[in-house]
């Protein structure tokens, strides 16, 4: 059976920290779906369509990767894609506590799905989409935090 992983997140926007987790996790899976979880009641900073397009640009050369969106429970989405693995990145102890609760509750909701964690590279641990958005709101330059395949001004 094919090993299908889902990398769920807001990716608002997708950073080099996200990219690094995806590239390092890729050998573990036959297919990896990067999927943007959205809530139709909440507007993101960047439109969903742009976020999808940018992630596709970063991995244009990777046949194992596809990009998608979903609304609702991540475990339900995984089942719809036949995916048994959820990929998440860990930067800090705070990430760990947050992710631990989600992964353990997801497991209670769906026994067949495992969450796989990769520790971020030290140089990527301070990078967060939230801070990237804050820098952008104040007119700062975020180019060192996003892949060169992405033009956030387009």
Active-site residue set: 18, 42, 91, 129
Select 9 or 84, whichever has its Cβ closest to ligand ADP. 9
Q: By CB under 6 A, what part of segment 67-126 binds ligand ADP?
A: 88-89, 91, 95, 120, 124
Neighbouring residues of 110: CB distance < 8 A, sequence distance ≥ 6: 75, 78, 79
CB 105 within 8 A of CB 75: no
Which of these segments, 15-23, 59-67, 75-83, 131-139, binds ligand ADP (CB under 6 A)?
15-23
Check residue 13 for interaction with ligand ADP (CB under 6 A).
no
Other CB atoms within 10 Å distance of the CB of residue 63: 8
**Out of 6, 21, 132, 146, which residue is the one contacting ligand ADP (CB under 6 A)?**
21
Rounded CA separation 34/149 (Å):
16
Tokens for 35?
């999927």
């Amino acid at each position: 059976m094919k090993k299908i992983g889902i990398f769920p997140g807001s990716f608002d926007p997708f950073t080099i920290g996200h990219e690094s987790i995806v590239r390092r996790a890729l050998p573990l899976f036959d297919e990896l779906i990067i999927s943007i979880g959205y809530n139709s009641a909440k507007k993101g900073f960047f439109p969903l369509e742009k976020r999808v397009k940018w992630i596709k640009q970063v991995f244009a050369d990777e046949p194992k990767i596809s990009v998608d969106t979903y609304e609702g429970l991540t475990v339900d989405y995984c089942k719809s894609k036949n995916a048994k693995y959820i990929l998440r990145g860990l930067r800090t102890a705070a990430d760990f506590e947050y992710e631990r609760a989600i992964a353990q509750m997801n497991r209670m909701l769906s026994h067949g799905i495992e969450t796989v964690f990769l520790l971020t590279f030290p140089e990527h641990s301070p990078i967060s989409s939230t801070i990237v958005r804050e820098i952008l709101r104040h007119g700062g330059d975020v180019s060192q935090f996003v892949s060169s395949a992405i033009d956030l001004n387009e």
